[in-house]
Amino acid sequence: MKETAGKKEKASRVAMPEQKPEIRRRNFEEVPLGYTVAMAQEEAARCLQCKKPGCVEGCPVSVDIPGFINLITQGDFTGAIRHVWTKNALPAVCGRVCPQEIQCEGKCIVGKKGEPVAIGNLERFVADWERENGTGALPPQAPSTGKKVAVVGSGPSGLTVAGDLIQKGYDVTVLEAFHKPGGVLVYGIPEFRLPKAIVAQEINFLERQGAKVEVNAVVGRTVSLDELFEDGFEAVYLGVGAGLPRFMNLPGENLIGILSANEYLTRANLMKAYRYPDVDTPIPKGKNVVVLGAGNVAMDSARTAMRLGADSVKIVYRRSRDEMPARAAEIHHAEEEGIEFFLLTNPTQFKGDQKGRLTGMECLKMELGEPDDSGRRRPIAIQGSEFHMDTDLVIVAVGSGANPLLTQSTPDMQLNKWGYIIADPETGKTTKKGVWAGGDIVTGAATVILAMGAGRKAADSIHQYLTWGW
């Protein structure tokens, strides 16, 4: 075994073909093009099939990674996708958007000496293979329990709960406030990173298994949480997302040309405004665009602005490169596409013209001091370092808070001091009987896969409750 392992370590990671940066920076097509069968099998062969696999520990939903990779090497792609599905209902999504470098791939033994096995790419491969070549057969389903469960929000955690409970025999209804289901997968993550056809397919997969999806249903307005129980639902899962944009609270922030990333990306992604005027929703096309923040949402906004034809796009971030929260691949892709990074820089005010339109931004240079509450070194302004930056479009991507729309209309459910729902980390149970919550409305803005992990635990707990009681 040791000898073969030694040989495998030498094989280098199979790179996934991508659209060239100079081409893709002006189109909305997906950037990585996917593995061929030969590439997938070559990459799969690099896996050491560890007895105690670190990768599985690193996965928030504990996908049996060596197991599905082994099925790829054997050429059993149907078996491989079925194996993934037992733990992960959205592999085509996760293969594309998970931060693998700090999860499964971060714990891969092959990665200790060279590059880790491309687990994300392989997960994407089996999901795409199934979509393009699979039989479309549905996973096995338990007999009907006759019990109704409502899932509020159709983002990653809600879809996970729906998928799990449908398979356990429940009558599941997913309620979505927007006119299209998918949550952040549809309004937030751009087409070039996650094609919307894939999200639509995942939702269709749930509907084929019997889940009902109701759009235009704003829980807290169209219907209240208590009314869902009156309507015969016996358990409710809240996966509504964080959903409240944070602004900088700086002078001039209401000038035309300053948008939250939520607004900018919703216009581009959900409303397809990049096709304007073929669709009716416009989007501001900046010439000199600034994105404030350095997370995934900031990278998505910057890369969208570039695709909409900007002359220059700058990421402005008050900390340094090491603290940037975005996925490594997103930062890399953004740099390749010509996005400039202004690190250790913080805006102090926005400037506009007489028509109320943004023309520029005053900034200060920062340096890093002692670590703050987040454990990251605190940025401190450098006196006398003021400078001006011309910009006609600023996208504010500095995080989200808890949207109070639903929680305010449900006074008997406890929130923490920031307005997030208090839920048991092991079960997702809230302080209101029959109500579970998970994802960003519990944890604050995090990742797709963590929201899915919370959904998985809550689905198990809902099943327990509806079988044995609270």
Q: What residues line the site for other proteins (CB under 8 A)?
A: 177-179, 215-218, 221-223, 243-245, 247, 249, 253-254, 256, 259-260, 262-263, 266-267, 271-272, 275-282, 284, 355-356, 403-405
φ/ψ (deg, to 5) at 45? -70, -15
Least CB distance to other proteins at residue 365 (A)? 27
State the nearest-atom distance from the C-beta of 125 to other proteins, in Å. 32
- Cα–Cα distance, 130 to 136 (Å, whole number): 8
71 vs 217, which CB is nearer to other proteins?
A: 217
Contacts of 345 (CB under 8 A, 6+ apart): 316, 317, 318, 363, 364, 365, 366
CB of 201 to other proteins, least distance (A): 18
Least distance in angstroms from the C-beta of 389 to other proteins: 21
Residue 56 or 184 with smaller CB distance to other proteins: 184
Q: Which is nearer to other proteins, 65 or 397 (CB)?
A: 397
Decide if 215 contacts 179 (C-beta within 8 A): yes
Cα–Cα distance for residue pair 63/57, rounded to 1 Å: 9
Nearest Cα neighbor of 147 from 210, 234, 277 is 234
At its nearest, how many Å lie between other proteins and the CB of residue 140?
35
Nearer CB in complex with other proteins: 33/215: 215
Sign of CA pseudo-dihedral 149, 155, 160, 166: positive
Q: Could you tell me the smallest distance in angstroms from the CB atom of residue 97 to other proteins? A: 20
Length reported for the chain: 470
Q: Min. distance of Cβ 415 from other proteins in angstroms?
A: 15
**Residue where the block lists tokens 């094609």:** 195
Q: How many CB atoms lie within 10 A of CB 255?
A: 17
Chain centroid offset of residue 368 CA: 29
- CB nearer other proteins, residue 52 or residue 355: 355
When the beta carbons of 351 and 378 are compared against other proteins, the nearer one is: 351
- Show the beta-strand stretches assigned E in 376-433: 377-381, 387-390, 393-396, 400-402
Terminal CA-CA length for the chain: 49
The residues pairing with 131 across neighbouring beta strands, listed in sequence order, are none
Query: CA–CA separation, 402 vs 420, rounded Å?
Result: 6
Backbone phi and psi for residue 253, each to the nearest 5 degrees, phi listed first: -70, -15
State how far Cα 89 lies from the chain centre. Answer: 14
Q: 117 in helix, strand or coil?
A: coil
* C-beta closer to other proteins: residue 260 or 288: 260
Closest approach of other proteins to the CB of residue 303, in Å: 19
Q: Select 232 or 282, whichever has its Cβ closest to other proteins.
A: 282
Q: CB of residue 230 vs other proteins: minimum separation in angstroms?
A: 13
- Phi, psi angles (nearest 5°) of residue 442: -105, -45
Comparing CB distances to other proteins, the nearer of 297 and 462 is: 297
